[in-house]
Amino acid sequence: MLRGFYISANNIINQERALNVTTNNIANSSTAGYKRELSMPTTFEERLLLLRSRKNETGTIQYRTQDYTWTDTEQGTFEYTYKPLDLALRGNVFFNIEGRVSGERWLTRDGQFSIDGEGYLSLGTAGRILDANGQTIPLGTSDFTVSENGVITTEDGRTYTLGLTYVDEYTDMERYGDNMFRPYDGAQIGNIPADADYRVIQGAYERSNVDLGEEMVDAMAYQRNFEASAQALQIMNSINQIVANDLMKI
């Protein structure tokens, strides 16, 4: 009887966690540069229950957990604004940003840039964009062009090279906020392979890679599974009460 409690409760927790991930994706479907998260089921290393079937063969039940998420770095679609401060990236490269609060270096695909009060190229209040040498960019103007390989040329002839970091599509990422990341392997600025196919596009920014239809279907499936597990838990509880009452009568 207790096994039924464990299985139902375990699934309730898992479905709730998966639903939280999916609803967060839905909430950020309009966040520029957002990369959707996937809830990844894993099993405990320990086998918690060992059963014997009627044929006297051994089997196992492994309780699954949904406490691990994977960031899907697949490219999103582009929104063309034709504004000079909007930049998009095609390929597996990321902009580098110096966090305004932490001072740490983070990666982002959000290219909705601005010029801050001191004239530096920035991502709103999040921080300043870094060049190929890891330095902030004192642009001071919105009159500039950007080449496909990331060279910024201002109207008065100054040039800066955007600091881009290559991240393989299967690399695991640490998320910071909604649309900034850091690869666990410590990828550095300018590590772009010679054969990498990438391009900087001026006048556009990358939307999130969330498929709203797919996320809504997943959310409904998780909700139904959650409700089914909750109902199963109630049934188990009712059966347990009946058994307890019968034992009290003996």
pLDDT, tens digit, 9 for 90 and up, residues 230-239: 777 777 767 6
Contact call for residues 180 and 106 (beta carbons, < 8 A): yes
pLDDT at 26 (0 to 100): 95
Whether pLDDT at 50 is above 60: no
Structure confidence by residue, pLDDT tens digits, 202-215: 999 999 999 999 99
Beta strands of 31-184 (E only): which ranges? Answer: 37-43, 49-52, 58-61, 64-71, 78-80, 87-90, 93-99, 105-108, 114-115, 121-123, 127-129, 144-146, 151-154, 159-161, 164-166, 173-176, 180-183
Contact call for residues 172 and 186 (beta carbons, < 8 A): no
pLDDT at 56 (0 to 100): 42
81 or 67, which is more confident = 81
pLDDT at 69 (0 to 100): 79
Nearest of 95, 137, 92 to residue 118 by alpha carbon: 137
Q: Find the DSSP H helices in the chain.
A: 2-27, 212-249
Calpha distance 143→114 (Å, rounded): 12
Whether pLDDT at 129 is above 60: yes
Whether pLDDT at 45 is above 70: no
Instruction: Kindly state the percentage of the chain with pLDDT values over 90.
Output: 56
pLDDT at 41 (0 to 100): 67
Helix (H) or strand (E) holding 201: strand 199-202
Helix (H) or strand (E) holding 202: strand 199-202
Calpha distance 229→19 (Å, rounded): 14
Mean pLDDT in residue range 109-119: 96
Mean pLDDT in residue range 48-75: 56
Instruction: Please give the full DSSP string across 216-232, using - where no structure is assigned.
Output: HHHHHHHHHHHHHHHHH
Calpha distance 122→113 (Å, rounded): 6
